[in-house]
Amino acid sequence: MKQNLRLPGPTPLPPEVQHAMDRDMIDHRGPEFSEMLLRCTVLLKKFYRTENDVLIYPGTGTGGLEAAIANSFSPDSAVLAVTVGVFGDRFARIADSFGLDVRRLSLPRGRAVEPEQLRHALDDNSDVVGVMLTHNETSTGVTNPLAELAPIVKERGLLLLVDGVSSVGAMPVETDALDLDIVVSGSQKAWMSPPGLVMLSVSPRAWEAAGNARLPRYYWDFKIAKTALEKGYTHYTPAVSLFYALDVALQLMDDEGMENIWARHHKLADYTRRSVREAGLDLFADERYASDSVTALKTPDDVDASRLRERLRDEFGVTLGDGQAEMAGRVLRIGHMGYVHENDLHETFDALRQALGAEREVRV
């Protein structure tokens, strides 16, 4: 059964993007590839709202988080990891695995970090040299208020590493205006492209930090990547087919227009939240910080979340994201980022209402 893929990544591909990959390899050291790499980099910078360098690696969001840390810190660095969910925890664990002195500001699931909480955590940990922050926490459907949080970090002169994996492209991320040092994103989210490419913006301040950072790295060494990029190539064999896809996807995004894309995501997120309530369900996230790219809903106590998800997939052709970690069995997630339109969500809620009814009938 063809699925209405409502995961918060991988997200569906427009037909043009699918077709773009139906072609042979080209010389990855030749002019055609160089031009494609340059086109992708220019449009990524536009969506990142930055004049900073943007590097593209074959890899995933997790790799990008690791790269951000490896290029920023030294074995004795103290850092603050702000975590509001599974991906914030992952960012912190990567720092743990490098042996950094990781202080955590951990919020209950469903909550965002408030500016005052960040201020206090930094006052209490005045020796940290950097802060790691998830912009959009995909596991809970919470968007941290980046525009209010970033200045608190920057006024202390600290390095700010942002996980924008499921936010950049779907909602405003003002990389330059907020002076964000490294922002990581992943091709399978808002970019209407397959999984497998990770993008990172690197500020002048982050370059300075990279020059002093003593954590080991080679593949992820930004300096090596930049030297190659300046010649129009990559230091490794690039994921050529994924570039075919990204190149077309970015062009489609540019044609639609950045503000229009943000507005579409905002409208669809509103529609999703309204429909969750109309279906008699509760939202998982604090509504003040509800995400424009993914919505988490609480499954009712009388319904088995994994059975509901299976029924939606097998009988209605609608695939939702499951609850992760401690949210397993309590939460389902509806992705509404990238190539998504109102009709996809109408269909999702029609199916959800019917599947909920069927699940309840089974229990009676």
- Please enumerate in sequence order all residues whose Cβ is within 8 A of that of 332, keeping only pairs 6 or more positions apart, or say none: 296, 297, 299, 305, 308, 309, 320, 321, 322, 323
The only residue of 34, 62, 241, 354 in contact with ligand PLP, by rule CB under 6 A? 62
- Considering only residues 102 to 131 of the shown chain, the ones binding ligand PLP according to CB under 6 A are none
d(C-alpha 154, C-alpha 321), whole Å? 35
Smallest separation (angstroms) from ligand PLP to the CB of 271: 21
Question: Minimum Å distance from CB 243 to ligand PLP?
Answer: 17
Sign of the C-alpha dihedral computed for residues 70, 75, 77 and 80 taken in this order: positive
141 near ligand PLP, judged by CB under 6 A: no
CB of 63 to ligand PLP, least distance (A): 7
Residue 158 burial (CB count, 10 A) = 18
* 3-class DSSP string for 280-311: CCEECCCHHHECCCEEEEECCCCCCHHHHHHH
Nearer to ligand PLP, 13 or 351 (CB): 13
Q: Which residues contact 120 (CB under 8 A, 6 or more apart)?
A: none
Binders of ligand PLP: how many residues, by CB under 6 A?
Answer: 12
Between 165 and 331, CB nearer to ligand PLP: 165
Binding status of residue 165 toward ligand PLP by CB under 6 A: yes
Q: Which is nearer to ligand PLP, 8 or 130 (CB)?
A: 8
How far is residue 168's CA from residue 134's CA, in Å, rounded to a whole number? 12
Q: Which of 50, 138, 201, 295 binds ligand PLP (CB under 6 A)?
A: 138
Nearer to ligand PLP, 91 or 244 (CB): 91
Does 166 interact with ligand PLP (rule: CB under 6 A)? yes
* Contact predicate 290/297, CB 8 Å: no
Distance CA 224, CA 26 (A): 23
9 near ligand PLP, judged by CB under 6 A = yes
Chain residues 172-191 in contact with ligand PLP, contact rule CB under 6 A: 186
End-to-end C-alpha distance for the chain, whole angstroms? 29
Using CB under 6 A, list all residues that contact ligand PLP.
9, 60-62, 87, 134, 136, 138, 163, 165-166, 186
